[in-house]
Structure 1
Amino acid sequence: MPQVPQVRRILFNDEEIGMGFNSESGLAVGTALDSFTIAENPTAPGAEVTSSISIINTHEELQENLGMSFEAQGRYGFFSASTKTKFSESTKFNSTSTFLVARCLVENSMRRGKNFKVTGEAKALLDANRTDEFSRAFGDSFIRGLQTGGEFYAVIRITSVSTSKQSELAATLQAEANGLVASGSFKAAFTEANGSESTRSEFSATMYQKAGTGTQISPTVSIEDVIQRYRQFPEIARANAAAYETEVATYDTLPLPLPTPEEREDFLLALADAREKKLNYIQARNDLEFALKNPMFFRDLPSSETLNGAISDYTKLINAVMAHAIALSRGQITPPQLFDPGSLSPPLTEPGPITLNRVQTAPPPPQVKVPACIDMPVTAVHIKLRQLGLIVRDSAPLEITQDGHLLKGQIVNQSPPAGTMVDVGTEIELVIGNYYEQGPYRRIGRIPN
């Protein structure tokens, strides 16, 4: 919503007083106001008339005289599809001809709405601090008044073989329209100019009029018609006025129940607090319901009665905080307040903390692969096995090989065999040769100590 009240005029586009207006798009939207009255200013019922007959030399001067300059577009806006735009284009302005613009603007007393009331739909959004939704539905402004009266423009193009004669004819026409020379002076001068090939001339006239009915809005064919309509137009606009401008005001100009920045901040804080509490209550209830249905995952659980009682309490808290959030969003809690279960009637109390102890099982020990130890040096094997987390036992009885000799200081057997997967901490039994002996026999047996 705008922070600074604003009032401006825009070209009339069939909007009605009280209708919402979107200043960014320039479109009329929903109506947030009703039960108002419309009246003209009784103390200033008179009209304001502005008129001129101007010779113009540039296209920008033409736009300015038609009230369509760049500055005017900034003030009024949204000319692109207007009838006046089409009229401006029909004048076929060029730099060869001389152009005169006769303009007469009549502004009657502004008709304004008073004692605006907010509709029920709009008030519900404002009460609930839903200002973004209000802006989408009803805009940031409203049509406060209509400017009645009228506009008359006649653009006359004069072209002559002689540039001096062309300027002379334009000056004559301007003087006649302003009453400075006798009526018919332009017609006589124009007829005389066309009597000579060296001063042959032509003219055309186009008109735009907003106000009047019947013969009052008939096309002006001759220069005399243009001058006559130009002089009669204030009376036409008074008798049969048209609405050609609207007065747009931001909603800040009305005593609407718009929230202050502090109220808006408090509302958002209270709404966020309610949502956080609701989610916490839901999670707490879900935890208890899961423990009640799956006791095998927990140890030292409270009794079923205790768990069911806490679940019931959390359900009541969830319902209460949801009702609080809904009342907040509808503007039924003013000023906004944080959810307090103790202030309810009857008051609610959050259950005391219930610790849910998970059943803990020791993870299985990691496993390693037993390395190949036979025929390896004892010291190196001991280091390797300890690095893998295995325990070494090398006190087993010794054996001789089939060729009848032992290799002193080397592993001759192991248990478990190489490649076996065992738990870390497993004992590995090693058989180690302790002397060297040769013989012709080939047998396997134990060697006494």
Structure 2
Amino acid sequence: MKLTLDESCRFGMGVDSRMQQARGEAIAFDGVTDAQGGQNVTGNFTLITQQEQLTEALEISVSASIRYGLAQVSARMKFAEDYACNEASVYLLLHAQAENAPRHMTGARLTPTAEKAYRRAPEEFRRNFGDTYIDEIYSGGSLAILYIFHTRDESSRREISGSLQASIGNFMAGGDISGSFKSTVEQATIRSELEIKAFISGGRGVVLPSSLDESVSLYRNFAVTVLNAGVPYRVTVKPWNEFPLPPGPTWAETLARQDTIDTCGKNILAAIQQRSRIQYILDEPEQFIDPDLAELRNAQGKLNALIGKWAQTAGACNEDISKCSLQGLELPAVPWPNRLETHDVLGAKIEEVRLHDSRAAVYFRPENFPGGRLDQVYDVDPNRAGRWRISYDSEGRPIGGVFWCEGWGAHVVYGAIFRRYARFGHCQGPYSYPREDEETYNRPDSPNSRVQYFEGGTLWWDARDNHVVGGPYTPIDEQEPPLPPGPI
């Protein structure tokens, strides 16, 4: 059985395989073989949706989650807690492993003291030395790079998740990262904020790549980094019954003990994820439909208390089979609210414009919106379901706006048409909300002119003299829009 232990590893050290924790040394041996063979390197991408997937990729053992409940947190467990999954973000994991050839003991044997201890009290021997011992040690390490896409609403989260899921099989080519990976991630960041974190076991610990390119470079250099590090990374353990020993605990006792410990560990991981999910809802309640904040805080408190109880139960069970009971330690029910399908309609429209409309995009750069992100600062219509946000040039002059109302959706108004629209009070004036985006209006005497339709009228921009005129509302489903009237 191969294990990854958080403690320093030495040959002949006893290991409690249930808790995956090092114990005392009970073996004498003659020597250690040299490593024979090359380095084995693997890499793959996974879309993470559950906390258990992340902890598995980080090779976090049941014992690590149990010790977390006892406030004994390893670096890997701290990493998993800091970036615990929540429903508002999408997590893409690049996981790589590099395992060098193993070394193992020769002439292994129990020390006379250990053999006497087992014959006198097998359960005490197990507590002191575990149920297995380290026979082989592999140097090497593992790399986990976590790409976290923080979304603003459920539709963007679903779109990004679907795009990554559809492309994930093309991200690796011949063991290296393909060009499609970078382009897919860059597309995803149009509708999200990207955070990149990395953890190296057998190397530098937690790493904070400053860019997408730096994270790719970290992966490409990883195998060489851990090849010469010489850090014990993984071990092979063997049961003590390799030696001539009396019978130990019964099969049924072993099974009950293992099941209780595993359940406690899984519950702790589930509680960490649920706690992170609750905290996100408490921090961003406006993204959810009628969240019961008081009940969520109550559930968060119950989870915090249960984490310690599960850890204590696992430790007690490991010491005494009669204490392997989970009665009253079930995961609490949490009143999860639904997330709004579209929270930031203004931001989604601006992202669409930046991506697909180069003519309009120059009016809606991030620096054109002072005061924060689009979903944090906007004006709300007091008389109907509507909202808007104005963009400004470097001298503080309004140059465009994005407007949304129920029924017509979100549309942008910019340039000369916006100046005329704003002079009449934009969406709060007689023209009201835009019914669609600006479009080309080719007249024989003025090609490449533009027109935009609003609830209360129509605005035309004449390309010949950069002049905008307006008129009352005209249905847009006619074959040809009418000629613009004279200036008003």
TM-score normalized with structure 2 length: 0.41
- Structure having the higher Rg: 1
Greater relative contact order (Cα < 8 A, sep 6+): 1
